């Protein structure tokens, strides 16, 4: 085979390779994968944080949680700000103890009442319209591993900002760090009552 024929075949193969590459590039990509079930991407309408400073540190996230639910009677809570602190599938839960029967009330078995952020709003919005409620942390114990954070937050609740507390207890708070910010995953709480007093170690 002479040199001119070699060059001709070489150019032919080069053109075929370029054509095949162009066809592969022009082939449309497959259908986009749906967001992973339960992921943040699966809730595109979930409200974003109102302020970066609400969610940029664990301390700020906790302060925002206590702040957004606190206020005098009739003060409208910023419920979109409240929702934005939580993962879309986050939960709040109150632990209810056994209650013995009295003349006025029947016996009640212990329970754990779990609420989504929307269910919490539906349950408590009417209460806040007619009752003052102020809650703050007394002490926070923070444990962290990777993007997982757990806070054992001792709280006290008041009906007016400078009243004596009418309730104290512990919020067990799970927090996740994702997409450059912190999110509330769950908040479970139980409070002092007859026979159950906060130990000194949870007050400092």
Residue 176's CATH number: 3.10.450.50
- Give domain status of residue 81, yes or no: yes
Q: Where are the alpha helices (DSSP H) in 148-199?
A: none
Q: How confident is the model at residue 75 (pLDDT cuts 50, 70, 90)?
A: very high
- Give domain status of residue 21, yes or no: no
Which pLDDT tens digit goes with each residue over 125-137?
999 999 999 999 9
pLDDT, averaged across the chain: 88
Q: How confident is the model at residue 59 (pLDDT cuts 50, 70, 90)?
A: very high
Give the DSSP H or E segment for 91. Answer: strand 86-96
Range of the domain at 159: 47-100+112-202
Which pLDDT tens digit goes with each residue over 21-56?
545 555 556 677 888 888 999 999 999 999 999 999
- Give domain status of residue 58, yes or no: yes
- Give domain status of residue 74, yes or no: yes
Q: Which residues contact 110 (CB under 8 A, 6 or more apart)?
A: 95, 96, 97, 98
- Give domain status of residue 19, yes or no: no
Is the predicted pLDDT of residue 175 greater than 50, yes or no?
A: yes
* Higher pLDDT pick, 14 / 180: 180
- Give domain status of residue 10, yes or no: no
The DSSP output letter for 146 is T
What average pLDDT does range 90-108 have in this prediction? 87
What average pLDDT does range 47-74 have in this prediction? 97
The DSSP output letter for 71 is B
- Give domain status of residue 142, yes or no: yes
Which pLDDT tens digit goes with each residue over 139-157?
999 999 999 999 999 999 9
Which pLDDT tens digit goes with each residue over 4-13?
444 444 554 4
CA atoms within 13 A on the CB side of 26: 6
Q: Tally the domains of the chain.
A: 1
- Give domain status of residue 152, yes or no: yes
Q: 41: closest CA among 145, 143, 179, 146?
A: 179
């Amino acid at each position: 085979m002479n040199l001119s024929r070699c060059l001709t075949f070489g150019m032919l193969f080069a053109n075929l390779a370029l054509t095949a590459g162009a066809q592969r590039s022009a082939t449309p990509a497959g259908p986009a994968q749906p967001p992973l079930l339960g992921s943040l991407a699966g809730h595109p309408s979930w409200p974003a944080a109102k302020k970066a400073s609400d969610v940029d540190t664990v301390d700020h996230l906790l302060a925002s949680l206590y702040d957004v639910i606190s206020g005098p009677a009739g003060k409208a809570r910023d419920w979109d700000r409240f929702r934005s602190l939580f993962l879309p599938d986050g939960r709040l839960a109150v632990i209810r103890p056994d209650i013995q029967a009295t003349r006025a009330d029947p016996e009640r078995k212990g329970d754990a009442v779990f609420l989504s952020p929307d269910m919490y709003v539906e349950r408590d919005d009417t209460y806040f319209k007619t009752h003052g409620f102020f809650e703050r942390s007394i002490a926070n114990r923070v444990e962290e591993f990777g993007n997982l954070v757990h806070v054992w937050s001792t709280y006290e609740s008041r009906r007016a900002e400078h009243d004596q507390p009418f309730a104290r207890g512990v919020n067990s708070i799970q927090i996740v760090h994702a997409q450059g910010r912190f999110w509330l995953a769950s908040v479970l709480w139980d409070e002092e009552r007859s026979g159950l007093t906060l130990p000194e170690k949870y007050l400092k």
